[in-house]
Structure 1
């Protein structure tokens, strides 16, 4: 069984931030480099205020950093929490691989 480690990052906030498709798209946009809030909002069919709220959720989860440059707010991706999520998911990948290997062994034994 996979056990939760006491030093795990705040995975609830990270997964919560990634749960909305608009926020995942914003992360994808920022993977190409820093962008202003206006540039991020442009391809979305939502208000600038709605995009700002999504960005706040991402910032609270530690997935982005926002800098004020005069009247322009520029956003930067911080992928570090994503590597924490990847590590958590990898533990479960190993768990399921072990389960499938055990199932394959069991089915082979039944065939013989």
Structure 2
């Protein structure tokens, strides 16, 4: 159940384009809330809400540095989400391979 909740938080966080942009930006290095908000013209309050969602998912960490809040990529990587995606990717690949084999076999018996 706990893993399911972590997946839910990660996918919910990634569902928003602004939050994906934040992760992309933080992939280049730490940034303040103001630096994250500036490109989109978003208020600090609005960006703070997005960063909080990413923090709750473990994808971002923040630290108060003087009068600013410094953001970094979190230590919680997307390993659980990738494992979930990979499982279903392999499942569908096996099913499609089976379907392909069926049609190949059926086509060969029609002659």
Q: If the length of structure 1 is used for normalisation, what is the TM-score?
A: 0.88
Of 85, 90, 93 in structure 1, the residue corresponding to residue 89 of structure 2 is 93
Partner of 1:110: 106
Greater fraction helix: 2
Q: Which has the higher contact order (CA 8 A, sep 6+)?
A: 1
Greater gyration radius:
2
RMSD of Structure 2 on Structure 1 (CA) = 1.4
1:18-97 map, 5 Å: 18-78=14-74, 80-97=76-93
Corresponding residue for residue 3 of structure 2 = 8
The answer to whether the 8 Å contact 1:14/1:81 transfers is no
Tell me, which stretches of 5 or more residues in structure 2 are unaligned? Answer: none
Normalising by structure 2, report the TM-score: 0.89
